[in-house]
Amino acid sequence: MYKRQQPYCQAKSGDAKHVGGVLVTGQDANKPVERREPNADMTTEQFKEAYRNKLYSLYAKTLEAASDKEKYLTLASLVRDEISRTWLQAKKLRAQQQENQEKQVYYFSIEFLLGRMLDIHMINLGLKDTCERGLRELGIELAQLREEEEDPGLGNGGLGRLAACYLDSMAALELNGHGCGIRYRYGLFEQQIIGGAQYEFPDDWLKYGYYPWEYRAADEAVEVRFGGAVRLQANGRIVYIHENYEAVSAVPYDIPITGYHNNTVNTLRLWSAEAELAKQACAAGQTDCRNTLQYKQSLESISHVLYPDDTYHEGKVLRLKQQYFMVSAGLQNILRDFRKMNLPYANLPDKVAVHINDTHPALAVPEMMRLLVDEAGLSWEDAWDITVRTMSYTNHTILPEAMEKWPEDLFRTLLPRIYMIVHEINERFCRELWDKYPGNWEKIRHMAIIADGYIHMAYLAIAGSHSTNGVAVLHTDILKKEVLHDFWEIYPQRFNNKTNGVTHRRWLLAANPKLASLVTETIGEAWLEDPCRLQDLTQYADDAAFQKEIAEIKRRNKQVLARIIQQKNGIAVDSDSIFDVQVKRIHAYKRQSLNVFHIMDLYQRLLEDPDLPVWPRTFIIGGKAAMGYYIAKRTIKLINSLAEVINNDKRIRDKIKLVFLANYNVSLAETIIPAADVSEQIPTASREACGTANMKFMMNGAVTLGTLDGGNIEIREAAGHSNIVTFGLTAPEVLQYYRQGGYNPWDIYHSDPRVKRMLEKLVDGSLSSDREDFRAHYDSFLHHGDQYFVLKDFAAYVAAQEIINGKYQDQKVWRRMCIHNIAHAGWFSSDRTFAEYAAEIWRLNEAAISCQDGCEQPGFSPIAKRLGTMLQ
């Protein structure tokens, strides 16, 4: 059931190699690899001179007088110059492609969690070594400057980071793929821990501007309209006139996305709401200028802040405004470009793919209809056919409480014309259902896009697109069999799986340079462009010398993290202990509490027997809790309270330590993940759609300790069952409990004395002087049915932890496991995922499929060739 569906990463007959950025097979594979490194020819001397000149021209300062920030900006500015040069060429190429009418992909996402960009750009442009060497000769450490870059937190977690990985892969694969999102003035809040609890502070990431990495394109601004009313005018045909609306200028900021050694620069276009139109209206005497300031603020609030939330806020009007703002601006922009091709609209789906990342951009469906019907004058039927063929949608969660729905009234007031269109889509969809299920009102009501006063965004996205995909095999299975079963029944051909991936360039090459170098020294550099080649490491899994080097690199990465822990938390941790890490959003279903319970139990056992044969462990936990999510915030307090007790108890002789690392973000992840021994992936089976941190850990040689959920199942398939430790209820078991009940947490409370003891400790003052501090946890486990089966899985989890402890003691076995994980991580590269999206959803490889051997005919794009080969 869980077998991988793609042969990608299986040993290929006749090795494949990349030549000039294009993957080729057969005879060509023997040619030397000629990678395009735009700046391979820049000497260190030239760099140093350029650097000094840049510093003078930007700040009129000498090296000695410049601050670290200025030094960073000088370097970034040099890199920007290089990007601009390449980008200009890339834009020319794109104009040419448009003339040649190549298909373009637009990935619409309300979040893009980019992380810092300096390192990645230097690597992609082939500049890193020269810069690092040149700076060193100038007496500057690159590592120090890196810290000066803001880390834009324009996303909450996995969904946003996935979007950023995909941008990286699109550019690496030379796909014509672009991102479309919002330029939030404030990103996800900065987390500080005060007295053990989370406090939120604004993320002022634009304090110094985002100068090096963004380009404002004010001349391409478009207008987005809210509110007002719609008037019908019959003039031969019915025309809808939208009037008395509020107009907002959507101003694009373009962020270049460089491809790895291939001269590709794609664009992430982030839209900012500006009130330029309000100012103009005031100047033209059309509005009351006294209110202009207030009006301006209200309009600009649209892109003011990222919703700091992975909890769905029903009815938040600003959130709906953000969604419409983004899709309207993005689609207007796409159609403006499309019109330059002078093609009939019927050709749009052959030239443009619009991807909807979760339901947040699902308004793209009715907005596309509005643009095609109202503005381009197409018939409803033609417009619908074009829309469905252009759109595709990814579902990222099955949690019922996360399914977006909007109150009809709010929707109608804010977006009157869009409401009319959704209404019409719903009418026609229900008629289709009626033809299929005559008389079955119950089913139709259940599937309707508008029902019980709400607009269901997932249903709108499925009905309005040609593809709906899940993000792991299990997740897609659950969508088909359970959550979206009715939709799968009517549109089986629309459903498909695309297991997530992560970019191995950021998460291995950039984040873990020592490991990356060792891999390259051992198997050559082909893995960089063809991550499946990591498989070649399997032959070294038992090689004592290689094992030793792997262990040494891990030890050094752990030392780096240990220093950070000492600086940030003031806790001394032993870098020879097992680093056991759980970093991700704090959420009940992700079960940080299960981790805590194991630590509490282990601590108790150590108190009883300080000679317990356990290898010393450092438990590291990090993650943000949504601001209004009470129990998640209490979990952070619980972790810190427990840490306070354990870390100060001399009786256990430093056998275990617990650390909560504040403000988990992409940059911190880049330091934590390469230093991890154990990757904790322990959600309630069926709840985590896929997970992506699990893949990043694996790539860095950590061993997964996980439930059989989401991507973990496929990690086990890839790495081998003996190279990961799994435990707990399976998804079918959990789903059965949800359907039929039959689980009573009190049974476990009474039968397992460890559980009873721990639960009582939550409320008896052992962890906090305020006995009410963790009452909500206690109640959730015992009085509210332990929804996420924490108590139920506890015994199995402790047993799995014992297995980890045992395996680690035999370092040969452990290192072998680590190597197998690294060697099989290639399949989890987002390059693979994206190649699948491109070939199977957006059909960028139509040409490749029809020319499997050779593709030498003129007119075939390198992309088509490359995809054809990757997916063989």
Write out the binding residues for ligand 26V, residues 742-781 only, by CB under 6 A: none
Q: How far, in Å, CA of 841 to CA of 867, rounded?
A: 13
Comparison of 307 and 411: residue with beta carbon closer to ligand 26V:
307
Catalytic residue, candidates 178, 475, 584, 761: 584
Comparison of 160 and 745: residue with beta carbon closer to ligand 26V:
160
Is residue 534 within 8 Å of 519, Cβ to Cβ? yes
Q: In the set 187, 691, 706, 868, which binds ligand 26V (CB under 6 A)?
A: 691
Catalytic residue, candidates 242, 568, 585, 771: 585
Q: How far, in Å, CA of 352 to CA of 389, rounded?
A: 10
696 is an interface residue for ligand 26V by CB under 6 A = no
The CA-atom distances, in angstroms, between 379 and each of 237, 375, 385, 421, 821 are 10, 11, 10, 13, 54
Comparison of 471 and 484: residue with beta carbon closer to ligand 26V:
471
Minimum CB separation of residue 671 from ligand 26V in Å reads 21
Q: Coil, helix or strand for 675? A: helix
The CA-atom distances, in angstroms, between 531 and each of 125, 324, 586, 827 are 19, 38, 31, 7
Minimum CB separation of residue 629 from ligand 26V in Å reads 8
Comparison of 554 and 687: residue with beta carbon closer to ligand 26V:
687
Residue located via tokens 């969508």: 479
Minimum CB separation of residue 604 from ligand 26V in Å reads 32
Examine the residue annotation and report whether 692 is marked as an active-site residue of this protein.
yes
Q: How far, in Å, CA of 294 to CA of 299, rounded?
A: 9
The binding track of 395-414 with respect to ligand 26V, each residue x by CB under 6 A or -, is -xx-x-xx------------
Scanning 218-226, 243-251, 309-317, 524-532 for contacts with ligand 26V by CB under 6 A, the matching segment is 309-317
Is residue 270 within 8 Å of 283, Cβ to Cβ? no
Q: How far, in Å, CA of 322 to CA of 309, rounded?
A: 14
The binding track of 318-357 with respect to ligand 26V, each residue x by CB under 6 A or -, is ----------------------------------------
- Residue of 361, 360, 369, 373 lying closest to 388 (CA atoms): 369
310 is an interface residue for ligand 26V by CB under 6 A = yes
471 is an interface residue for ligand 26V by CB under 6 A = yes
Residues, the chain: 872
Write out the binding residues for ligand 26V, residues 129-158 only, by CB under 6 A: 157-158
The CA-atom distances, in angstroms, between 744 and each of 596, 785, 792 are 21, 7, 9
476 is an interface residue for ligand 26V by CB under 6 A = no
Q: How far, in whole angstroms, is CA 677 from its chain's centroid?
A: 23
Examine the residue annotation and report whether 339 is marked as an active-site residue of this protein.
no
Comparison of 421 and 690: residue with beta carbon closer to ligand 26V:
690
Comparison of 94 and 161: residue with beta carbon closer to ligand 26V:
161
Catalytic residue, candidates 480, 504, 506, 590: 590
Minimum CB separation of residue 458 from ligand 26V in Å reads 11
500 is an interface residue for ligand 26V by CB under 6 A = yes
- Residue of 399, 402, 392 lying closest to 468 (CA atoms): 392
Largest CA distance in the chain: 90
Examine the residue annotation and report whether 466 is marked as an active-site residue of this protein.
no
Q: How far, in whole angstroms, is CA 439 from its chain's centroid?
A: 43
Scanning 49-57, 238-246, 541-549, 687-695 for contacts with ligand 26V by CB under 6 A, the matching segment is 687-695
Minimum CB separation of residue 107 from ligand 26V in Å reads 13
Kindly report the number of other CB atoms within 10 A of residue 306's CB atom. Answer: 24
641 is an interface residue for ligand 26V by CB under 6 A = no
632 is an interface residue for ligand 26V by CB under 6 A = no
Comparison of 156 and 768: residue with beta carbon closer to ligand 26V:
156
Write out the binding residues for ligand 26V, residues 21-60 only, by CB under 6 A: none
- Residue of 264, 258, 259, 253 lying closest to 80 (CA atoms): 258
Scanning 133-141, 332-340, 684-692, 700-708 for contacts with ligand 26V by CB under 6 A, the matching segment is 684-692
Examine the residue annotation and report whether 634 is marked as an active-site residue of this protein.
no
Comparison of 403 and 490: residue with beta carbon closer to ligand 26V:
403
- Strands 391-394 and 177-182, by their bridges, are unpaired
Comparison of 495 and 603: residue with beta carbon closer to ligand 26V:
495
The CA-atom distances, in angstroms, between 332 and each of 252, 325, 329, 365, 503 are 12, 11, 5, 13, 30
692 is an interface residue for ligand 26V by CB under 6 A = yes
Minimum CB separation of residue 634 from ligand 26V in Å reads 16
Examine the residue annotation and report whether 563 is marked as an active-site residue of this protein.
no
Q: In the set 105, 449, 662, 690, which binds ligand 26V (CB under 6 A)?
A: 690
Q: In the set 66, 125, 159, 534, which binds ligand 26V (CB under 6 A)?
A: 159
469 is an interface residue for ligand 26V by CB under 6 A = no
689 is an interface residue for ligand 26V by CB under 6 A = yes
Minimum CB separation of residue 635 from ligand 26V in Å reads 14
Total residues in contact with ligand 26V, by rule CB under 6 A: 21
Q: How far, in Å, CA of 170 to CA of 829, rounded?
A: 12
361 is an interface residue for ligand 26V by CB under 6 A = no
Residue located via tokens 């297995």: 803
530 is an interface residue for ligand 26V by CB under 6 A = no
Comparison of 406 and 419: residue with beta carbon closer to ligand 26V:
406
Q: Which residues of 640-658 are buried (b: 16+ CB within 10 A; e: fewer)?
A: bbbbebbbeeeebeebbbb
- Residue of 662, 568, 574 lying closest to 621 (CA atoms): 662
DSSP code string of 691-705: -SHHHHHHHTTPEEE
**663, 182, 304, 209: CA torsion to nearest 10:** 70
Instruction: Name the H helices within 34-67.
Output: 44-59
Examine the residue annotation and report whether 396 is marked as an active-site residue of this protein.
yes
Minimum CB separation of residue 672 from ligand 26V in Å reads 18
Minimum CB separation of residue 683 from ligand 26V in Å reads 8
710 is an interface residue for ligand 26V by CB under 6 A = yes
618, containing H or E segment = strand 617-622
162 is an interface residue for ligand 26V by CB under 6 A = yes
Q: Which residues contact 408 (CB under 8 A, 6 or more apart)?
A: 419, 450, 453, 454, 455
Look up residue 583 and give its two tokens: 């970093």
From the number of C-beta atoms within 10 Å of its C-beta (0-12, 13-18, 19+), residue 407 rates as: middle
688 is an interface residue for ligand 26V by CB under 6 A = yes
- Write out the E strands in 227-385: 229-235, 237-243, 246-258, 265-274, 352-357
Residue located via tokens 């008629």: 431
Residues involved in catalysis? 396, 584-585, 590, 692, 696
List residues near ligand 26V by CB under 6 A.
157-159, 162, 310-312, 358, 396-397, 399, 401-402, 471, 500, 688-692, 710
